[in-house]
Amino acid sequence: MILSKRHIYNNSTVSKLSVICVLFGFLFSGSTYSQETERTVLTLEKNWRFHRGDVENAFSQSFDDSKWETVTVPHDWAIKGPFDKEIDKQTVAIVQNGEQVATEKTGRTGALPYIGVGWYRNNFSIPNSSADKKVLLLFEGAMSEPEIFLNGKKVGSWNYGYSYFYFDVTDHIRGNGKNTLAVKLTNRELSSRWYPGAGLYRNVRVIVKNKESIDQWGTFITTPVITSELAKVNVKTKASGKDLKMVTKIQDAEGKTVASDTAHTIYGDEFEQNIAVENPKLWSPETPYLYTSVSQLYAYGILKDEISTRFGIRSIKYEAEKGFSLNDSIIKFKGVCLHHDLGPIGTAVNKSALRRQLTILKDMGVNAIRSAHNMPSLEQLELCDEMGFMFLAESFDEWAKPKVENGYHLFFETDAEKDIVNLVQATRNHPSIVMWSSGNEVPDQWGSDGAKRAKWLQDIFHREDPTRPVTVGMDQVEATMASGFGAVLDIPGLNYRVHLYEDAYKAFPQGLILGSETASTVSSRGIYKFPVVEAKMKQYPDFQSSSYDLEACSWSNIPDLDFVLQDDKPWVIGEFVWTGFDYLGEPTPYDTAWPSRSSYFGINDLAGLPKDRYYLYRSRWNTKDETLHMLPHWNWEGREGEITPVFVYTNYDSAELFMNGKSMGIQKKNMSSPTHRYRLMWMDVKYEPGTIKIVAFDADGNPVAEKETHTAGKPYKLVLEADRTQLDADGKDLAFITVSVVDKNGIPCPIATNQLKFKVKGAGTYRAAANGDATSLEMFHLPTMKLFSGKLVVLVQSDENAGEIELTVSGKGLKTGKINISTKN
């Protein structure tokens, strides 16, 4: 993470700000410097004009865009819908899912209108510009195939929509005058396996700096030697200019300088400094301590540039048989995979939405994130540094061989190296990143050509960052054993294939295996199906999956099978579950069933509400807090006298179940099967309305915790609960308000599906809503939605004025709910 002292400007006001501004994961704090040394950063956020469809001469500075839509960037042009089964309808056989026959897939990419051309235009001026300045134009992500025009001239293009990239536009800029930026984006059909989003979905920046300056992404910090008394901090800094000197100071988390060094010799274009930090505080998921390296570049004795890089002191090691260690302590990855969409707000990056996701995962006991199957947002990496998550940063879903007709294979030969270089250079200072991934389930797993490509990509990663290993998520394990593909990798990553772990461990020379993608259990929050049995690719008339957590895909498995490997095999170094949250697209097992348009894989649903599976993982991963969760709900009118099994997910080994005061017996976890090892299950309970209660026992058989579930009456009142009650008045911050319905006695109504309406007034606006129903075609941005399994979530966004936001939620026949959120400058 890099920080830099500089002037910061917002293009809507072009005024100096004393705020913190994010640039490529780098924080810039506003400060007044002489023009000789300042950097100016313009965040091109407001006053963008947007148009769907191609337009002749839209790149021209004189083009009239006054009738175009005004939008704010980051922006996802497709998330407002509407959903349409004809959008990107794909007739394919999904090879990685084992399909042999092509079938029509209607919701594979989310059924949202992302395909086609979109144009963005913005006008900006550069304050305090002069002829001796260098100007960079940076994009953190543009979906897709962006073509960039400045003042009517094309300054560059990029192909990969997930990549960060920049251009030197010094020769194209117009000093203090008006500059016109135009961006053309082209999203092809058949280019993705999930909803990729559309538009300038991450930030756009303009950086103005001296020509004698530190290169973009030119700082690389490692901590090669660490003891309890001393840490060696190695700082490599690439810079441009003559007669240069580099002064570097190390600051602790409180801003106190704890070490410094001055370098007069530059080797080629790079300074290298080794700086001793005494009594270092180490970065880990439990203690995510961050230092800052402040590097000052002097030319001819004059300060020309200053960059601050946030980093962590930590060591990582991967050893055969032993596994992965962080700071010399063996640790297993308790990880989840995350797609880059943020549910109802789409792919437009929002830090408060990302923070909410990570807060939910932290409570579950997650210690690691895999960005799947794309390069992560820089905001996500910042938060992982701060909150304590290890990170597996992934690059590609395709190499030279295609999965989809218009996928990355079209650009692999020409672009793969530069895309990896940008990924590594832009993110390598994040202590959270502990591993790279060069690919996921690539068809190149067969044959020697694939093995050569794997080594070529891995060598690029090693050249740019010798400190971290590289993996690939392999689903064709037998093929990679035969071709040598798996043996080439630093870390063999297995996607599913639990029956082949032992064979892979014996065949590959590394002496360890990573569960790079695991489980793919499917479920719908609050939906339970009978009879309760393990099943693969099970489908129901309502297009939902059972939340008893026993249903998986043809290629995957229930969580318990991975738990066994993690617990019993020291050479299995951890897992990344597919997925932490539901995402738009890939509605397996209903790929061919409209209106399914989002996934069922999530441990949390698309609204961010936990499914039952959340508590199964929490009972194993969160070792600090008590977990005692009972399922299903207890509203089963019409099932009186029928078998309705009760499951309990808990970190206790035994518990007793009571129904209306009568004991249903004590269950104890045992080794008889994977499910009995990790769950408590009463399989012969017959439903009768009333109360079920669970009493958990400690190791000595003493009752230590209990929980009850009651049969609810008719829906009566709406209850609102916000994840945060105070927001920043920055026009971006979000509060996520969970709306649920209860009966007259305050008992939650778990099967309520009432249509609700939302009204926001005061210092904020209504942003979106989501209910977690993968079959819902209600549009997220409209202020109305049905409850799903008794709940939904409303997103409220602050404006730029401090004050109070009031959300009112109403529904026919229900007592209205209200909540206030305050905002501050």
| Residues recognised as catalytic | 441, 517
Give the CA dihedral 57, 60, 62, 63, nearest 10 degrees: 40
Identify which of 532, 578, 583 has the alpha carbon closest to the alpha carbon of residue 555: 578
Question: What is the Cα–Cα distance from 386 to 370, expressed in whole angstroms?
Answer: 17
- Contact of 293 with 220, CB cutoff 8 Å: no
Beta strands at 433-440 and 470-474: parallel, antiparallel or unpaired: parallel
Question: What is the Cα–Cα distance from 190 to 798, expressed in whole angstroms?
Answer: 37
CA distances to 727, 759, 777 from 804, rounded to whole Å, are 10, 14, 32
Identify which of 352, 350, 343, 432 has the alpha carbon closest to the alpha carbon of residue 386: 432
Q: In the numeric block, which tokens belong to residue 697?
A: 């026992």
Find tokens 């590289």 and name the residue. Answer: 470
- 223 Cβ neighbours under 8 A, 6+ residues apart: 231, 232, 233, 234, 280, 311, 312, 313, 314, 315
CA distances to 64, 211, 379, 432, 738 from 224, rounded to whole Å, are 56, 32, 26, 16, 46
Q: In the numeric block, which tokens belong to residue 205?
A: 């920046």
Find tokens 């490997």 and name the residue. Answer: 565
- Packed helices 612-621 and 559-568: angle between N→C axes, nearest 10 degrees: 10
Find tokens 């005024």 and name the residue. Answer: 15
Q: In the numeric block, which tokens belong to residue 773?
A: 């129903």
Residue 290 sits at φ, ψ, to 5 deg, of -125, 135
DSSP label at residue 406: T
The angle at the Cα of 127, spanning 124 to 129, to the nearest 5 degrees, equals: 105
Q: What share of the chain is helix, strand, coil (3-state, %, to 5)?
A: 15, 40, 45
DSSP label at residue 414: H
- Contact of 605 with 649, CB cutoff 8 Å: no
Burial of residue 177 (CB within 10 Å: 0-12, 13-18, 19+) is exposed
Question: What is the Cα–Cα distance from 139 to 120, expressed in whole angstroms?
Answer: 13
> What sign for the dihedral angle of Cα 433, 435, 436, 441?
negative
Count the residues in the chain.
825
Question: What is the Cα–Cα distance from 522 to 556, expressed in whole angstroms?
Answer: 10
CB count within 10 Å of CB 749 equals: 24
- Contact of 773 with 599, CB cutoff 8 Å: no
H or E stretch covering 148? strand 147-150
CB count within 10 Å of CB 249 equals: 17
